[in-house]
Structure 1
Amino acid sequence: MQTKKIIVHGLVQGVGFRWSTQALARQMGIHGNVKNNADGTVAIVAQGDSLKLAEFISKVKASPSPAGYVDKIEVTDIEEKPLHSFNVVF
């Protein structure tokens, strides 16, 4: 089980990006959360097995929201206790 922090840059606020990311994560069995940052980026904490997590990150790069787009992402490994769901954080 791996946990990653993903910072997403691009048109990712106000386009349903968080909700689309939540739907994608739940569909793939990824646990964690997604929230808007004050600087216009979106932060995702994602936890899952390495293959599913790599696939999830790839799909995030392609933008799960058809109205948005991703310019770049930053991915870092983090230590996190086991997570049991995927939620939008306000």
Structure 2
Amino acid sequence: MKRYRVIVDGIVQGVGFRYFCMYTAKDCRVTGSVRNMSNGMVDIYVQGEEENINTFLDKVKEGIGFIRVDDMRIKPVPVVEGEREFVCLYSEDW
């Protein structure tokens, strides 16, 4: 089990990117969260088996529709025990 924080830059706000991440996470069997940042980037925490995380990140990089990912900064963070789902958060939730 691994967990990463991923900061995503590009055209990722106002284009359905967070919901795309939620549905992709479900398909890839990973947990975590996604939220918009005030600087126009998106903050993702993703947790699961390494292979599933890699599949999730590959799909996120590809995007769909108007989504365009220009850069992803990925760093390992501590695993959150008992996390069961991937959720979309709003800035005030943090």
Q: Which TM-score bucket, shorter chain as reference? A: over 0.9
Paired letter, 2:79: E
Superposition pairs of residues 39-78 of structure 1, within 5 angstroms: 39-63=39-63, 65-78=64-77
Aligned-partner Cα distance in 2 for 1:48–1:81: 10
Structure 1 segments unaligned to the other structure (5+ residues): none
Superposition pairs of residues 19-38 of structure 1, within 5 angstroms: 19-38=19-38
Structure 2 segments unaligned to the other structure (5+ residues): none
TM superposition shift of 1:50? 0.6
TM superposition shift of 1:80? 3.0
Aligned-partner Cα distance in 2 for 1:89–1:12: 15
Equivalent pairs, count:
89
Q: Which runs of 4+ in 1 moved over 2 A?
A: none
Equivalent position of 1:18 in the other structure: 18
SS in 1 for 2:44: strand
Is residue 88 of structure 1 aligned with residue 81 of structure 2? no
Aligned-partner Cα distance in 2 for 1:27–1:52: 9
* TM-score of the pair, normalised by structure 1: 0.94
